[in-house]
Amino acid sequence: MDPSDMERNIFEYALPAPDLRGTRLFEEVLSRRRSRRSFSDDAVSVQEISQILWAANGISGAHDQPRELKKFRTAPSAGATYPLELYLLAGNITGIDPGVYRHSPSAHSLIRIIDRDIKAEMASAALNQDMIETAPACLFFSAVYQRSTMVYGRRGSERYVCMDLGHSAQNVYLQAEALHLGTCAVGAFNDHAVKRLMQLPDHETPLYIMPIGRY
């Protein structure tokens, strides 16, 4: 464990396994996909959040290579560089304490980095978009650009990271809709304020906020 993690007194949640057999037709989910900006006061469950995190950033299988074990993800990444980092801003989630958590795809777990609900402050940093505060949960995407640029140079930063984000965010939209939940991709925010609020390291760049809730 990194010493800085130990200083933060992190707590780890093992998430329930994702359900690999949905109850809604894919075509129905596609036809109903919308950006939803109003949410009810109802909580979301840890199972629902687990499913959405897996859809965005999860391990979907493995393939034995001659010299390595290659793990496949639910969303494609250019050159399998996986520059995205995914966080959960937890508010009203049954089974998860309020706080900010980093998603570990390999363990499908949550590692707590902030032990309080920061969604109201995040809404303020995102130009007062109240849906971020009222949603019971938000996903937060950042990127470590060096993972792509060390392979692809400027093309990695100018194209591939954004493509990876689009793949993952669309998975979130579709998985949320399949669960009768809604979301909306938010890219308008004060980068400096958000980075400070999320306590991101220098090498991580904030990209997206996606509130999650019932509509």
Q: Is residue 62 part of a domain?
A: yes
Report, as an integer, the average pLDDT of 62-77: 74
The whole-number pLDDT of residue 198 equals: 98
Task: Specify the CATH number for the domain of residue 55.
Answer: 3.40.109.10
pTM of the shown model = 0.92
Q: Is residue 2 part of a domain?
A: no
For residue 75, what are the domain limits?
11-16+23-213
Q: pLDDT tier at 71 (50, 70, 90 boundaries)?
A: confident
Question: Cα–Cα–Cα angle for 195, 201, 206, nearest 5°?
Answer: 40
Q: Is residue 88 part of a domain?
A: yes
SS3 content of the chain, % helix, strand, coil (to 5): 35, 25, 35
DSSP conformation class of 137 = E
* Total tally of structural domains belonging to the chain: 1
What is the bridge-based pairing of β-strands 93-94 and 44-45?
parallel
Q: Is residue 6 part of a domain?
A: no
Q: Is residue 102 part of a domain?
A: yes
Q: pLDDT tier at 182 (50, 70, 90 boundaries)?
A: very high
Report the chain's C-alpha Rg in angstroms: 17
Q: Is residue 4 part of a domain?
A: no
The whole-number pLDDT of residue 61 equals: 83
- pLDDT of 156 > 70? The answer is yes
Q: pLDDT tier at 65 (50, 70, 90 boundaries)?
A: low
What is the bridge-based pairing of β-strands 137-143 and 12-14?
unpaired
Q: Is residue 1 part of a domain?
A: no
